[in-house]
Amino acid sequence: MRVFYHLRQNYRQWQFDAARYPPDGVEVLIPPGIVLDVDYNDKNFSHTASGAALPKKKPSLLDRAKPFLNEPLKYNPLLINYRGVAELNANPLRENFSNEPQTHRGRLFVKSDRTSDVDADISYLYSGIVKNPKTPYVAEVENPTALTYFSPIALYNPLVKSEIARVILSPKTIRILCLSEACKISMLKVFGQAIGEKLEVMYPVVPDLHLQTTDSGQPRFLFASLNCYLKGGREIILAAKRLKGKFSLTMVTDLPPELAPDAKKLGIGLKEYRYFNRMGFLNSIPDYDVILHPTFMDCFGLAPFECVCGGLAGIASGLYALPEFIQHGRNGWNIPAPMDYFKDSLPNLKYWFMSPEKYADYVKKREFPHVVDKLVEYMQYYIDNPGELKKHKEYSRKLAKEKFSLEVRNKKLLKIFEEGLGLA
């Protein structure tokens, strides 16, 4: 079975991992210039908030040729003549739907399939669907706006919604792979119950982490994210001021200068997130006990997801997909979302029209004492109840094995591929 993964060099590393760790029996095809055998410990790669390892220098011609030199992956020679990854339609929505205001230039879906020279059985797309595909495909999405190039206004256009629903229901759309149950609920609300049979929840790929946990005798809290204000870093520092007892706190982030004095005074371990490579991050998970993620905007949260898969408990906002892997009272605690970035499972236009910079400034100028109070309550609980923390960590490992493991994911994905090709 030959599966073509429509990867681009700027995609997140967990998206690359879908091609790195395919189901048994799948032969992986990728576009030229895409490098799968990334050494995460290479000093030329850095770790970003998305989990991506982005090169700090432009890849050499040899680097670009690596996909054709790799083993054990096999590449179809036809890929050498490949004319490009299927791209989202570059035309603004108004050219497709005259009722759409010109100011909202979201891109809809793949206008035409340009993979006729790729000899694949199935295509694996990211955040896009194909209108008239040559081959059947699956498409991975994190929320409905991924199908309108993250333009939420398009989701309120009945013409856009009906056209996307029609494409989803077409025979060659095998499945839409929703990255969470929250995403599936959103998709059904936006595009209607009729597409339900085409939706499958498929959590992101996390390499199986066979890590030995350590015990320091006190809770070790971790915050790991760029956009310190947007992800609740300030509130974590404020909470740390009120905690009693022994604990440690490490913040891997882009800490704003105005927060640095308090962080240093409290003895918080500080690391620059953008220069923290991904394997280094994954391998460091056993050095902590609890991941903190009181975010103001997220539809998933890869860092806390990876930490849960590595056996950590969590304290996070109850926002969109986060309660699916940080389950209140079982392997952590959910804090009521500071702001309803998603409202009734749909994007809240009040906040989605802000740029990340404006949204961060919006958050920075406001105080959220209830978030700080809840952080204090739950962090103090773990300090005072080490036995309960141990139980929560054990539940995370159980959850990871039974629901989020690579084995579970690939078994489900292979079945989808086989059904799509009429082999099941």
Instruction: Tell me whether residue 262 is in a domain.
Output: yes
Side chain identity at residue 24, one-letter code: D
DSSP states of 231-290: TTHHHHHHHHTT--SS-EEEEEE---GGGHHHHHHTT-EEEEGGGS-HHHHHHHGGG-SE
Instruction: Tell me whether residue 123 is in a domain.
Output: yes
Q: Are residues 317 and 229 in the same domain?
A: yes
Q: Are residues 224 and 98 in the same domain?
A: no
Task: Tell me which of 353 and 311 has the higher pLDDT.
Answer: 311
**For the chain, how many structural domains are there in total?**
2
The helix (run of H) or strand (run of E) holding residue 165 is: helix 158-168
Residue 96 has pLDDT above 60, yes or no: no
* CA-based nearest residue to 275, from 91, 30, 43: 43
Instruction: Tell me whether residue 211 is in a domain.
Output: no
Side chain identity at residue 103, one-letter code: T
Instruction: Tell me whether residue 62 is in a domain.
Output: yes
Q: Are residues 127 and 252 in the same domain?
A: no
| Residue 344 confidence (pLDDT) | 81
Asked if 209 contacts 287 with a C-beta cutoff of 8 angstroms, the reply is no
Instruction: Tell me whether residue 318 is in a domain.
Output: yes
Least confident of 248-252, 273-277, 293-297: 273-277
Residue 73 has pLDDT above 50, yes or no: no
Q: Are residues 183 and 259 in the same domain?
A: no
Q: Are residues 28 and 104 in the same domain?
A: yes
Instruction: Tell me whether residue 212 is in a domain.
Output: no
Instruction: Tell me whether residue 213 is in a domain.
Output: no
Mean pLDDT calculated for residue range 44-71:
36
Side chain identity at residue 395, one-letter code: Y
Per-residue pLDDT tens digits for 151-183: 777 777 888 888 899 999 999 999 999 999 999
Instruction: Tell me whether residue 163 is in a domain.
Output: yes
Q: Are residues 333 and 191 in the same domain?
A: no
Q: Are residues 254 and 339 in the same domain?
A: yes
Q: Are residues 17 and 130 in the same domain?
A: yes
Q: Are residues 85 and 113 in the same domain?
A: yes
Distance, CA of 196 to CA of 166 (rounded, Å): 13
ω into 72 cis (within 30 of 0): yes
| Residue 315 confidence (pLDDT) | 98
CATH at 229: 3.40.50.2000
The pLDDT mean for the chain works out to 79
| Residue 55 confidence (pLDDT) | 38
Q: Which structural domain, as residue segments, surrounds residue 169?
A: 2-206+406-420
Asked if 274 contacts 55 with a C-beta cutoff of 8 angstroms, the reply is no
Q: Are residues 232 and 378 in the same domain?
A: yes
* Residue 3: strand pairing partners: 28, 122
Report residue 143's pLDDT band, with 50, 70 and 90 as the boundaries: very high
Task: Tell me which of 13 and 319 has the higher pLDDT.
Answer: 319
Distance, CA of 265 to CA of 75 (rounded, Å): 55
pTM for the structure as a whole? 0.82
CATH at 413: 3.40.50
| Residue 254 confidence (pLDDT) | 87
| Residue 398 confidence (pLDDT) | 95
| Residue 127 confidence (pLDDT) | 83
Residue 81 has pLDDT above 90, yes or no: no
Residue 58 has pLDDT above 80, yes or no: no
How many Cβ atoms sit within 10 Å of the Cβ of residue 146?
21
Side chain identity at residue 248, one-letter code: S
Per-residue pLDDT tens digits for 98-131: 222 222 233 334 333 444 457 789 999 988 888 8
Residue 30 has φ and ψ, to the nearest 5°, of -140, 160
Q: Are residues 192 and 235 in the same domain?
A: no
Report residue 91's pLDDT band, with 50, 70 and 90 as the boundaries: very low
Distance, CA of 15 to CA of 321 (rounded, Å): 18
Distance, CA of 194 to CA of 191 (rounded, Å): 8
The helix (run of H) or strand (run of E) holding residue 46 is: strand 45-47
Least confident of 138-152, 236-250, 289-303: 138-152
Distance, CA of 183 to CA of 324 (rounded, Å): 11
Residue 14 has pLDDT above 80, yes or no: no
Per-residue pLDDT tens digits for 185-233: 999 999 999 999 999 999 999 887 666 777 778 999 999 998 899 999 9
For a pLDDT cut of 90, what percent of the chain falls above it?
Answer: 50
| Residue 82 confidence (pLDDT) | 25
Mean pLDDT calculated for residue range 400-411:
94
Q: Are residues 196 and 235 in the same domain?
A: no
Asked if 333 contacts 357 with a C-beta cutoff of 8 angstroms, the reply is no
Distance of CA 323 to the CA centre of its chain: 14
| Residue 152 confidence (pLDDT) | 78
| Residue 275 confidence (pLDDT) | 61
| Residue 64 confidence (pLDDT) | 38
Report residue 147's pLDDT band, with 50, 70 and 90 as the boundaries: confident
Report residue 148's pLDDT band, with 50, 70 and 90 as the boundaries: confident
